[in-house]
């Protein structure tokens, strides 16, 4: 039994079942036992691998995108370059290395990272130590100072908590996590909530089905606030994540442990827990906040339009045979439809007066 499982069972015994959202928050962010709080989960030895960990090209091309966006903003002399959930700091490090030669860009930059995990903050500090730029850390994005800003969020929104609603025999209810009476574990229960359908996205309402549906209130709140911020101070938000372009019924909550799917309730705090991002709702929240929104564009198409093939060619020229194989495999994984190319999507929220961002032209 994991330490967090013990703690959650004690809490349920004392105060009753907890929502899926509360369960997910505790699994990822519990100050003592939360998955991200205690470990570096990335890479071969970890539980999952993200795009910046697969190839340096990913961050380099995002750097190019940021530099172009900065120029489209009129090259302001001060720019906040921020990242939400920076993991090991690899993406930001590649972004900064690739943009060193862009005249005036680094002089304008203030780097702000939003990270809740003390372990990952330390890792980010080490990764970014050699950049020569000041880096500021925040627990919440609302603590980032005012001013024009470009935000990156790669695999951040999928880690934000969701609520699940389902139509059972007795009508609509919200899924909660309860103690399993038949063992030492946990189980899902449905708590009656007749008003649940009010929370359904307009698209699902129109589809008229009655399966399980998920919402991520925190994602919507953050996207709305980012949209407002971009409209007020100028700048852009680039979101890359996995999920669906149009909301669907069905469960997407999943746990990953040692690169394998794991039952969601089995190892609280010891497996990564995420849910598919509902891009339609996320984009609506950005737009409600006042931003102009572009996408979703498949990650494959996005990287191809920014020139991943050409960048790979340059890297291949200086590589030995083993490196060539690994570069080609990384390229394929990032852009192909069997890999991340289609499931992962890119969305940009932009100040309404700015021209179409790079890679989003039709």
Chain residues that interact with ligand SAH, rule: CB under 6 A: 28-29, 36, 42, 50, 52-53, 85-87, 91, 114-117, 120, 154-156, 159
Residue whose CB is less far from ligand SAH, 156 or 294: 156
Residue 131 has a CB neighbour count (10 Å cut-off) of: 18
Residue whose CB is less far from ligand SAH, 151 or 176: 151
Q: Taking the complex as a whole, how short is the minimal distance between the CB of residue 156 and ligand SAH, in angstroms?
A: 5
CA nearest 347: which of 202, 151, 164? 151
Residue whose CB is less far from ligand SAH, 162 or 190: 162
Q: Taking the complex as a whole, how short is the minimal distance between the CB of residue 28 and ligand SAH, in angstroms?
A: 6
Q: What is the Cα–Cα distance from 168 to 290, expressed in whole angstroms?
A: 38
Which single residue brings its beta carbon nearest to ligand SAH?
Answer: 85
Q: Taking the complex as a whole, how short is the minimal distance between the CB of residue 42 and ligand SAH, in angstroms?
A: 6
Q: Which long-range contacts (CB under 8 A, 24 or more apart) does 164-173 make?
A: 164/20, 164/212, 164/213, 164/214, 164/251, 164/253, 165/193, 165/196, 165/197, 165/199, 165/200, 165/212, 165/213, 165/214, 165/215, 166/190, 166/211, 166/212, 166/213, 167/210, 167/211, 172/196, 172/197
Q: Taking the complex as a whole, how short is the minimal distance between the CB of residue 293 and ligand SAH, in angstroms?
A: 21
Q: Taking the complex as a whole, how short is the minimal distance between the CB of residue 32 and ligand SAH, in angstroms?
A: 15
CA nearest 96: which of 110, 78, 116? 110
Residue 138 has a CB neighbour count (10 Å cut-off) of: 16
Residue whose CB is less far from ligand SAH, 218 or 319: 218
Residue whose CB is less far from ligand SAH, 91 or 312: 91
* Cα dihedral value 261, 20, 185, 10, nearest 10: 140
Q: Taking the complex as a whole, how short is the minimal distance between the CB of residue 34 and ligand SAH, in angstroms?
A: 9
Q: What is the Cα–Cα distance from 75 to 90, expressed in whole angstroms?
A: 25
Cβ-contact 93, 161 below 8 angstroms = no
Q: What is the Cα–Cα distance from 193 to 187, expressed in whole angstroms?
A: 19
Q: Taking the complex as a whole, how short is the minimal distance between the CB of residue 295 and ligand SAH, in angstroms?
A: 18
Q: Taking the complex as a whole, how short is the minimal distance between the CB of residue 18 and ligand SAH, in angstroms?
A: 17
Residue whose CB is less far from ligand SAH, 30 or 175: 30
**Rounded to a whole number, what is the distance in angstroms from the first to the last CA of the chain?**
52
Cis omega (within 30 of 0) for bond into 296: yes
Residue whose CB is less far from ligand SAH, 50 or 69: 50
DSSP secondary structure string, 107-149? HHEEEEEE---HHHHHHHHHHHGGG-S-EEEESSGGGSPSS-E
Residue whose CB is less far from ligand SAH, 53 or 270: 53
Residue whose CB is less far from ligand SAH, 30 or 267: 30
Q: What is the Cα–Cα distance from 169 to 153, expressed in whole angstroms?
A: 39
Q: Taking the complex as a whole, how short is the minimal distance between the CB of residue 357 and ligand SAH, in angstroms?
A: 20
């Amino acid at each position: 039994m994991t330490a967090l499982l013990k703690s959650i069972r004690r809490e349920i015994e004392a105060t009753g079942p907890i929502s899926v959202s509360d369960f997910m928050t505790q699994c990822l962010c519990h100050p003592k036992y939360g998955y991200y709080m205690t470990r570096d989960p990335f890479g071969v030895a970890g539980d999952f691998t993200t795009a910046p960990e697969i190839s340096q090209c990913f961050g380099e091309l995002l750097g190019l995108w940021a530099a172009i966006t900065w120029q489209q903003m009129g090259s302001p002399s001060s720019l906040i370059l921020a990242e939400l959930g920076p993991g090991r700091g690899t993406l930001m490090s590649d972004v900064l290395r690739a943009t060193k030669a862009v005249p005036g860009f680094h002089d304008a930059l203030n780097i702000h990272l939003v990270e809740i995990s003390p372990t990952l903050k330390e890792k980010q500090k080490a990764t970014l130590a050699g950049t020569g730029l000041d880096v500021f850390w925040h627990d919440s994005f609302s603590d980032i100072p005012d001013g024009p800003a470009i935000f990156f969020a790669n695999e951040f929104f999928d880690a934000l908590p969701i609520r699940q609603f389902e139509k059972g025999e007795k009508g609509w209810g919200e899924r909660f996590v309860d103690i399993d009476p038949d063992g030492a574990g946990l189980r899902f229960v449905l708590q009656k909530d007749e008003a649940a359908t009010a929370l359904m996205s307009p698209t699902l309402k129109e589809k008229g089905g009655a399966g399980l549906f998920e919402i991520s209130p925190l994602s919507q709140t953050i996207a709305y606030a980012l949209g407002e911020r971009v409209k007020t101070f100028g700048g852009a938000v680039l979101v890359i994540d996995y999920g669906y372009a149009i909301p669907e019924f069905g469960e997407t909550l999943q746990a990953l442990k040692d690169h394998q799917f794991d039952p969601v309730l089995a190892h609280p705090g010891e497996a990564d827990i995420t849910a598919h991002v509902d891009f339609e709702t996320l984009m609506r929240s950005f737009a409600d906040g006042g931003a102009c929104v572009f996408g979703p564009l498949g990650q494959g198409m996005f990287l191809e339009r920014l020139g991943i093939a050409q960048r790979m060619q340059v890297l291949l020229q200086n590589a030995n045979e083993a490196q060539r194989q690994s570069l080609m495999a990384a390229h394929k994984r990032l852009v192909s439809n069997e890999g991340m190319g289609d499931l992962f999507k890119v969305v940009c929220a932009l100040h309404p007066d700015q021209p179409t961002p790079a890679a989003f032209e039709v």
